[in-house]
Amino acid sequence: MNREFVKGFRLEEKRPGENDYRWVVDKMHKTIHPQSNVSRYDIVKVSKILNSKTWQPYKERRSKMYYELGNKYTVEKRLFHCSPEALTIGNDGFDLKFARSSGLFGAGIYFAEHSSKSNNYSFGLGKGCGAHNNSKCSQCERVMLVCKIAMGKTHETNSTGTKLPQGCHSLHFTSPNRESEIIIYDEAQVYPSYIVKYKAHFK
């Protein structure tokens, strides 16, 4: 269904036989980092997000990047984001007012290429589940977002604390000892496209 013809917000549940479901589940499992303590996921539900409130600003920002930068910088990536507020974010979109200035790259919106990296934040930074206070709980459900990101011009860095240079739209942090992160500083550059309810299992 074309998002342009959806007014408001709706979740469209995907069934195990559907292409969207298989793609999301495959992406989550294939992006478990080899050095992560995550072994696998039990997928409870995959829902596609249809949300005109967040789709329209994203589409306009993506188009503006195309006209300003050309094909070279119109890359879209599908990245992961976990938060206890994932369901709210899926409905309302991201809000930089809630971004932590104490983050390694300042008050931005942080995404991961590895699902296992995002899983670390599913119960909150440094927190466990509400029922057992266990960050490695395999009984309690977690929620992960799969998001479209309009990357624009990306600044590559291997140093924490890097500021986004003028003229760039995203930071890509890579390090031999850490899972990579991508940070953006404009809510319109992201469209939450899937909500995944799941359980995580650990090595």
Torsion region of 133: left, alpha or beta (phi above 0 gives left; psi -120 to 50 gives alpha): left
The length of the chain, given as a count of residues: 203
Look at domain 3-202 and name its CATH class: alpha beta
Print pLDDT tens along the chain (203 aa).
454 446 789 999 999 999 999 999 999 999 999 999 999 999 999 999 999 999 999 999 999 999 988 877 778 999 999 999 999 999 999 999 988 887 889 999 999 999 999 999 999 988 999 999 999 999 999 999 999 999 999 999 999 888 999 999 999 999 887 889 999 999 999 999 999 999 999 99
Burial of 200: CB neighbours in 10 Å, binned 0-12, 13-18, 19+: buried
How far, in Å, are 62, 95, 151, 187, 189 from residue 65 at the CA level? 5, 21, 9, 14, 10
Instruction: Report the DSSP pairing between strands 38-51 and 9-14.
Output: antiparallel
Report the predicted TM-score, pTM, of the whole model to 2 decimal places.
0.94
